[in-house]
Amino acid sequence: MEAQKLLDAAPFAPDIVKMLKQVFDEAWVCIAPSVQPHRVDDTRLSLAHTIVAHAGSGERDLDALKTAALQSVRKHPPQTGN
């Protein structure tokens, strides 16, 4: 739920927040099967952070945001939540 809260609180217009949530959902579907159960919350939060950060730098392309988020999480998986 923290990931959804982060997306809801993102400092963007409602239509952009809606788009970010769509990107998050699509990215999560791609990565969820490979995430260990004890890392789900941390991974979802990391994914949301990456999406918001890239959107904050001006990116608005759904595919580019999704790709960046997936690459980031795969390259730097969360290490908390043991």
Report how far apart, in Å, the C-alpha atoms of 82 and of each of 19, 36, 40, 58, 66 are: 31, 10, 11, 34, 26
Q: How many helices (H) and strands (E) does the chain have?
A: 4, 0
For the segment 8-57, what is each residue's pLDDT rounded down to a tens digit?
Answer: 999 999 999 999 999 999 999 999 999 999 999 999 999 999 999 999 99
pLDDT number for residue 80: 58
Q: Closest by alpha carbon to 54, among 27, 20, 26, 30?
A: 20
CA atoms of 73 and 31, how far apart (whole Å): 9
Q: Which amino acid is at 77?
A: P
pTM (2 d.p.)? 0.89
pLDDT number for residue 55: 96
